[in-house]
Amino acid sequence: MKAGPPATQHGDLPRSGNALLRYWPILAAVLLAAVLLWALGTGKYRVSPEDIIRILAAGISGSDSGAGSTAETVIWNIRLPRVITGFLVGAALAAAGAVYQGLFRNPLVSPDILGVSAGASLGAVLGIFLSSSILIIQGLAFAGGVIAVSVVYGIGSAARDRDPTLVLVLAGVAIAALLGACISLLKVLADPYNQLPAITFWLLGSLASVTRSDMLSIVPATAIGLIPLVLLRWRMNLMTLGDEEARALGVETAKLRLVFIAAATLMTAAAVSISGIIGWIGLLVPHVARMLVGPDFSRLLPTALLLGGGYLVAVDTLARSIADIEVPLGILTAALGAPFFLWLLMTARFSWR
């Protein structure tokens, strides 16, 4: 009897759509370029795509763009830093989500599973409570995220006779709940006229106050986090098999888990310290990327990076253009992400591999 075609794995395209695997980089580049042009041109002061291209080309070559000083100032000093920062934040959150979902072999895992978002939130809230300096707030947010995950990982390492993955998840939930209680206490103690609104706005997520220094500050952490993920991308595929199977193939699972968690935590903490809490990107984007290119991490990682960065840039553009006031990013990402995720639950075939 003639065998039929192999079953499609979760996240893989059917054979009729396999051509997308060959053409997705070109398609992603075109879509990303369109989103970036739209983001740079949209706002109270509109700039045409032709003027944007001339301004960027003139900035590189040192010539005169002919678009006017106002348009050049808007592009170079306001929108370009915000767009680049938004892309880096979205890309970092999506890449971290792909790492955590593969590492824990659970499609419902997001970058805050080990308490990094809660730790960063507590650090930022403490910074707002003690000082109004943006550098102090961002520094404490970054440190809080790293410290929270370090505590969770230390607890997981101490439980040697139990499933390390399960212990990490449970410890992350407990630490996040404890840090959430500390945040609530600081909100009660905060000045209701100045500090409390600033805390609430930060926790909802925004790129409204992003500057060029913020853009430059997130680049090193994102690059340092991505380097081990790229170099060890094939070993992530082995880690998704489970600890016993990975060890049977010669993988030192404990060391690799530490490297992957550290890299994902570094990127997430850097992103959250700049933008505040922006949910759903680390959960939803890796799902979509896996549906487009499959579970192979060498394809999944760049796809998640492009989709996450482009998605956050698009959402941020909507946040500053759909109303007279700027809508917090956390509200928009939840409003867009939750219905789409529910649609995926109802229509997609869910199994891990």
Separation of alpha carbons 214 and 178, rounded Å: 29
Which one-letter DSSP state was computed for residue 44?
Answer: S
Count helices and strands in the chain by DSSP H and E runs: 15, 0
Is there a contact between 268 and 111 (Cβ–Cβ < 8 Å)? yes
Whether the CA torsion 209, 215, 306, 341 is positive or negative: it is negative
Q: What local confidence, expressed as pLDDT, does residue 167 receive? A: 87
Q: What local confidence, expressed as pLDDT, does residue 253 receive? A: 80
Angle between helices 281-293 and 329-347 (to 10 degrees): 40
Q: At 342, phi and psi to the nearest 5?
A: -65, -40
For residue 332, give the nearest of 273, 269, 284, 262 by alpha carbon.
284
Separation of alpha carbons 328 and 211, rounded Å: 17
Q: From first to last of its 353 residues, what are the pLDDT tens digits of the chain?
A: 444 444 444 444 444 445 556 677 778 888 899 999 999 999 888 999 999 999 998 888 878 877 788 889 999 999 999 999 999 999 999 999 999 998 888 877 888 889 999 999 999 999 999 987 888 999 999 999 999 999 998 988 887 667 777 888 899 999 999 999 999 999 999 999 889 999 999 999 999 889 888 888 899 999 999 999 999 988 888 888 877 787 887 778 888 889 999 999 999 999 999 999 998 999 999 988 988 888 889 989 999 999 999 999 999 999 999 988 899 999 999 999 889 888 877 776 555 55
DSSP E strands, 87-141: none
Question: Is 25-54+69-347 CATH 3.40.50.720?
Answer: no
Is there a contact between 269 and 115 (Cβ–Cβ < 8 Å)? no
Give the residue ranges of DSSP H helices in 134-163: 134-158
Q: Which residue shows structure tokens 């075939």?
A: 349
Separation of alpha carbons 168 and 264, rounded Å: 15
**Where in the chain are the domains?**
25-54+69-347
Can you give the pTM of this predicted structure?
0.88
Angle between helices 195-204 and 116-130 (to 10 degrees): 160
Specify the amino acid at residue 222: T
Q: What local confidence, expressed as pLDDT, does residue 163 receive? A: 75
Is there a contact between 37 and 21 (Cβ–Cβ < 8 Å)? no
